[in-house]
């Protein structure tokens, strides 16, 4: 491995490593906010699930295998 390749590899590792942020336990205020919850909007979730179920009915929608009519 020549110097240039080694330098390039080291720089890549450093840049990639620099992109990782370690959020400390006392810095999790924003992460702990209610708006960060995936289930924060029950109505929206219900609508999204209905759309998914209707669209994917031929494959059983969100449950077990269905009739395949796709008519929900």
Partner 1 sequence: MNTSPLKKVIPVALLIGSLLTANAALKVGDSLPDISTFQLEGKLPDAMKGKVVIVDFWASWCLPCAKSFPTMEELQKKYGDRLVVLAVNVDEKAANMDKFLKSHSVSFTVVRDGKQRLVEVVSPETMPTSFILDPNGKVCFLHNGFYGEKTRHEYIKEIDSLLK
Nearer to partner 1, 30 or 63 (CB): 30
d(CA 72, CA 65): 14
Residues 35-54 within binding reach of partner 1 (CB under 8 A): none
Write the DSSP symbol of residue 33: S
29 scored as a contact of partner 1 (CB under 8 A) = yes
Stretch in the footprint of partner 1 (CB under 8 A) among 5-13, 37-45, 46-54, 57-65: 5-13
5 scored as a contact of partner 1 (CB under 8 A) = no
Q: Binding residues for partner 1, how many (CB under 8 A)?
A: 13
3-state secondary structure of 1: coil
Binding residues for partner 1 (CB under 8 A): 3, 6-7, 10, 14, 24-29, 32-33
């Amino acid at each position: 491995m020549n110097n240039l390749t080694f330098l390039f590899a080291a720089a890549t590792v450093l840049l990639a490593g620099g992109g990782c942020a370690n959020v400390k336990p006392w810095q999790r205020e924003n992460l702990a906010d209610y708006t960060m919850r995936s289930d924060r909007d029950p109505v929206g979730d219900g609508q999204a699930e209905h759309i998914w179920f209707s669209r994917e009915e031929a494959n059983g929608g969100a449950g077990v295998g269905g009739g395949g009519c796709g008519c929900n």
